[in-house]
Structure 1
């Protein structure tokens, strides 16, 4: 303090005053750019900030839907606002915080945006947020290009309202891809209706706009596709459709008639239309015909052979096009404003030219949306040239069916896939109509990757995989720092992303492996201080791994996540204990203690218990042993007794 005072004394009065102001503990905090996910197209910071006090005034322009207004009220209540009053106009200089909701066709919204020095984002689903501080008050304008855009603006406001103060700012934002979301298209146990409702609520928070109902094990959507749904199931689907509408998510119903359909039989086309009519009666207006995972080397009926000739790729493309075109025409006839039919072709897994793709390109109604999984069923990467090749092959921009993080194939047995969404090239928005993620049988754990999919589809050029991964953890953790760290520790043990081949496209446990490699190197180098520090770091990481499951189960993290991850958390805790004992064994060996062999033996015993933990029976397509950082953690526990020579019985492998 003496030195600071002396320096001030040597300066001019103006400089001295500025220095005193800059060190004043009550001086205003700097305005900082908020972290928002998905990353908005544009954020411009202004001077000042707005604090949400106990009382806020809500101004609602004409035409705002009730669900959007109610969401704003929920956000304000969660932020600690106790009194929400309403007004019809915004004062010239608000003495309290005013929040204005509306779309760009409202005069009051346009005037507020002008006051904020901005204009409305002009894109579909676009929005503008203008926050202006005015002394003790402020005006936050949430303006949507349309109803969907306004809802997205509110979702951004939800993130802003978690801050102590909302910076004065202008956000201009809109999606890069028109279709963003998930397709429940996996084999094995479908999600429950409760899980689907939670998923639709989640999709809203990441600005996704599409959910496709396509569980392979729904008999009324595949094996018994011609049969009507039982009344109770139909009612439950209607409830889901209503939840989707409230969340501004398009609920798309998919049917899979391929295993038994007769393409040329008018009765089967009528059966499809009848099925869609029943679903339309409960509020579902978007439809999908799935023709994946079927044979086109044989017909299902003699009539198709007579109509289309010998079975084969080209004939299948022609036959499928005829049926789909009929269904598309029926949709338009019944509702001219209906969304286009979506289909997934039998050749969905590459962009190579073929007679089948040529037939679709020539005969399929150009309005029909075609899905494509990339360069393989589970592609290790997708580039812009890959997508361009698909556009050429199918004669239209495709809708990417990304088979990540789905875990219904043999290579995923015992795994949750929770690495960041990565290795999809920025710029794909120019060549795709959108991306739908095929998630896991476990709904809540799927949100980790789906958060990345939605963020990439919203703004692929600014997408940051690692930061979005961390944001997904924080959201699941309810904003709690300790729970966020525990989740990230868990995610690292489930980082591997397999393909249908032997080589994964994302490596296993990269953070843990880096630490274990440093431990090996420090021990091998022979420096006592480095070895001691490395073993201490190992012990800390072991404590984090062993303790993470209890933190995740403590109640801060979404309970559905903890329940659906239960055997993985059980196994992780055991592996963490095995690593704790391994670290103790290495420390004992490094100090010449004869206790080292006992520590290593107990570590092996607990590791064997951990390796024996099984998946929840029937929860996924393939049951089996749970895998936790396999190839990394298990290998280190096995190798550790050989890293430092110890007295006592020879280590057993």
Structure 2
């Protein structure tokens, strides 16, 4: 009887079985809310696009370009919604526009009230449909377009409603590392990436820009200033705030009006090329002695507390001038000399008592490179600095000794959900290698957008797909590399993320299978080892093939070279273990593996690319250990 009822049920469902089911899409960063409706929308070749009054022309152009890339060849325009949705209709605009509100009402959706918020809704209606992109402000509409871009990668768009806004007001990156700065091309590409990820802040603060640090009083050469102006314009196009940072701490005389005026002149020159947000960096300086005798007369004997008072005086004057020049300007940002913990101190007390409360203070967490950051940690920083801080997260930066030879490609993790309640935002300090930095920075930005809905692993996979242009083989190859470069060091002896966890799990499985002595289990484990070795050896060519961002392959070149060699060494190791398991001689295979492994371990990083060079480290402590131990895992007994 049960089987008969099941057959009837299946027969009833058969006509619908040919239709693609509506599935909840994955959008990154994860939206605040996303709910499925009934049915799906297929764009096809023709759509009607309705651009509501108040829409930025650039955003309208972006949506047109996205539709064209998705295969839409016929885009007609209209000024009002059709009475019947007999074709695909797309409405974009601010949610204050009557036309957009009408579209939202038809879709039974409400507008998002938060800053940078948006509502994106799709309604299936017979042979037609209605897709509405409603921004609470211009930024929100731009963010809606970025979510639409991701939906357009699907064959069909499910009927759904997304209501979304960021959890943290400030989200982005600070180019604040030592060593070779990014090129202008790197920065342009990075600003485009930030726009796609709904970030809103980029801080220009390369430590090796002499005109921002050692020669901070001197004006920029005209060509450099023009280049920075071009970057600022690119940032605006991506709805990213370009923040210029200056580092006068090593030489400034806080009480000298001439130095204060030199700093303001520098900012005025940047304002002249379209930069309207500014930052004073006072990190990594000596603050226990004055740079001039005048400061001793003005603030008393040198020391941490006096430094806090002197810095506050300067910063308050700068903040006052910024408001004078532009009453709508964003708050000044500063990074203090004590930036790496939340312990009470005379310096922090002086800042707390004297620094204008409008000024944003950056903080790197419980250490320079913290292994974790909790909500209580951030609460302690709020108390210590007298305001919610802007997190400067030193991940995935690789300009310190214990990161030498590494790309840091692990997912962004061990930052507690709920930090948005105690932070004004989060900025990632990336690597000298811009394109590889996007792997971890994607996680930082997704966390800043929605810390409570953030999933490290899924976001990590999304970063791979984006770099691979959605191509499955390149995505898989990138994930092999990401795992082999998973280790994340700190300033201490213990890393805060382990090396090659997936590879290690497989190699441990092989060890266990060989130790247990079951022949079938051994053969199966060795087959898995062979497949992994082949994947590691093949991944670099797949990555280099041009599917991924060319900058990634170029900047990761030594690591790809080393990966291919390590993969070949593991192939020889697998061959040796397979031969030994069959009772055949294996010595030459293990010798070849040792030779290739030595070559892999000697591959150098790109000279001058990072502050600390040296040989490439890839799956170190995992892959090299296994290859070295492999000859002792099976004793070869010659068979008659």
- Structure-1-length-normalised TM-score: 0.96
Matches within 5 A, 1:406-421: 406-421=397-412
Please state if 1:71 is matched with 2:58: no
Structure 2 gaps of 5+ residues are: none
Q: Matched residue of 2:40: which SS?
A: strand
* 1:533-544 correspondence runs (5 A): 533-544=524-535
- Corresponding residue for residue 620 of structure 1: 610
Show CA shifts across 1:181-225 (max 9, x none).
Answer: 000000000000001000000001111110000000000000000
**Aligned-partner Cα distance in 1 for 2:95–2:117:** 10
1:315-360 deviations in Å (ceiling 9; x for gaps)? 0000000000000000000000000000000000000000000000
Gaps of 5+ in 1: 1-5, 649-653
Give the Å deviation of 1:25: 7.2
Per the alignment, in what secondary structure is the counterpart of residue 121 of structure 2?
A: strand
What does the per-residue CA deviation read over 1:407-433, in whole Å, with 9 as the maximum and x for residues that have no partner? Answer: 000001000000000000000000000
Cα separation, 1, equivalents of 2:58 and 2:610: 35
Cα deviations by residue, 1:230-250 (Å, 9 ceiling, x for unpaired): 000000000000000000000
Partner Cα distance (1:250, 1:552) in 2: 32
Give the distance between the partners of 1:197 and 1:238, measured in 2 at CA.
12
1:434-453 map, 5 Å: 434-453=425-444
The correspondence for 2:191, drawn from 188, 193, 200, is: 200
The secondary structure found in structure 1 opposite 2:75 is strand
Is 1:186 the counterpart of 2:177? The answer is yes
- The offset of 1:19, in angstroms, is 2.9
Q: Is the 8 A contact 1:21 1:27 kept in 2?
A: no
Q: Distance in 1 between matches of 2:474 and 2:26?
A: 19
Give the Cα–Cα distance (whole angstroms) in 2 for the partners of residues 375 and 547 of structure 1.
40
Distance 1:566 1:372 in 2: 33
Corresponding residue number in structure 2 for 1:301: 292
Say which of 462, 467, 475 aligns to 2:453.
Answer: 462
Using the alignment, how far apart are the partners of 1:64 and 1:248 within structure 2?
14
Q: Which one of the candidate residues 615, 620, 626 is aligned to 1:636?
A: 626
Match of 2:323 in 1: 332
User: Deviation at 1:21?
Assistant: 3.9
Asked if residue 230 in structure 1 is aligned to residue 195 in structure 2, the reply is no
Range moving further from structure 2, 365-374 or 531-540: 531-540
Any idea what SS the aligned residue of 1:71 has? helix
Rounded to whole Å, the distance in 2 between the matches of 1:637 and 1:252 is: 48
Q: 1:40-74, CA deviations, whole angstroms, 9 ceiling, x for partnerless residues? A: 11111111111111111111011211221111111
Q: Distance in 2 between matches of 1:289 and 1:647?
A: 70
Per the alignment, residue 275 of structure 1 pairs with 266
Are residue 106 (structure 1) and residue 125 (structure 2) matched?
no
**Could you tell me how far 1:555 is from its partner in structure 2?**
1.1
Question: Secondary structure of 1:226's partner?
Answer: coil
After superposition, the C-alpha distances for 1:120-157 in whole angstroms (9 at most, x for unaligned) are 10000000011111111111000000000000000000
1:64-100 deviations in Å (ceiling 9; x for gaps) = 1122111111111111111111111111222111111
Partner of 2:378: 387
Q: What residue in structure 2 maps to residue 366 of structure 1?
A: 357
Deviation, structure 1 residue 29: 2.2
Match status 1:405 vs 2:405? no
Question: Partners in 1 of 2:28 and 2:190 — Cα distance?
Answer: 17
User: Partners of 1:410 and 1:71 in 2: how far apart?
Assistant: 43
| Partner-residue secondary structure (3-state), 1:228 | coil
Report the secondary structure of 1:554's partner residue: helix
- Tell me the CA shift for residue 623 of structure 1: 1.0
Q: Distance in 1 between matches of 2:93 and 2:470?
A: 29
CA distance in 1, matches of 2:13, 2:562: 52
* 2: CA distance, partners of 1:496 / 1:26: 46
Deviation at 1:647, TM superposition (A): 5.9
Query: How far apart, in 2, do the equivalents of 1:26 and 1:71 lie?
Result: 36
RMSD after superposition = 1.3
Report the counterpart of residue 424 of structure 2 in structure 1.
433
Counterpart Cα distance in 1 of 2:37 and 2:583: 63
Q: Partner of 2:244 in structure 1?
A: 253
Partners of 2:278 and 2:495 in 1: CA distance: 34
- Aligned mates of 1:436, 1:460 — CA distance in 2: 14
2:234 aligned with 1:243: yes
| SS at 2:546 equivalent | coil
Q: Select which of 422, 435, 446 maps to 2:413.
A: 422
Q: Distance in 2 between matches of 1:565 and 1:274?
A: 39
Shift of 1:17: 6.7
Which whole-Å CA distance do the structure 2 matches of 1:45 and 1:536 have between them?
42
Aligned to 1:555, what secondary structure does the other structure show? helix
Residue 7 (structure 1) shift: 8.6
Verify the 8 A CA contact 1:548 1:573 in the aligned structure 2.
yes
Tell me what 2:144 maps to: 153
Aligned positions, number: 638
Q: Which moved more, 1:571-580 or 1:68-77?
A: 68-77
SS in 2 for 1:279: helix
Instruction: Pick one of 323, 329, 350 that aligns with 2:341.
Output: 350
* Matches of 1:529 and 1:341, distance apart in 2: 66
Q: Secondary structure at the match of 1:448?
A: helix
C-alpha distance in structure 1 between counterparts of 2:408 and 2:12, whole Å: 51
Q: Where does residue 651 of structure 1 map in the other structure?
A: none
* Aligned residue among 292, 313, 336 for 1:322: 313
Of the candidates 59, 72, 83, which is equivalent to residue 50 of structure 2? 59
- Residue 41 (structure 1) aligns with: 32
Where do 1:2-17 residues align within 5 Å? none
Match of 1:341 among 321, 332, 348: 332
Distance across 1 between alignment mates of 2:8 and 2:490: 64
Q: 1:393/1:569 Cα in 2 relative to 1: closer, same or farther (>3 Å)?
A: same
Residues 1:523 and 2:514 are matched in the alignment = yes
1:604 is aligned to 2:559: no
3-state SS of 2:278 partner: strand
Partners of 1:214 and 1:255 within 8 A in 2:
yes
- Are 1:597 and 1:646, in contact at CA under 8 Å, matched by a contact in 2? no
Give matches, 1:553-592, under 5 Å. Answer: 553-592=544-583
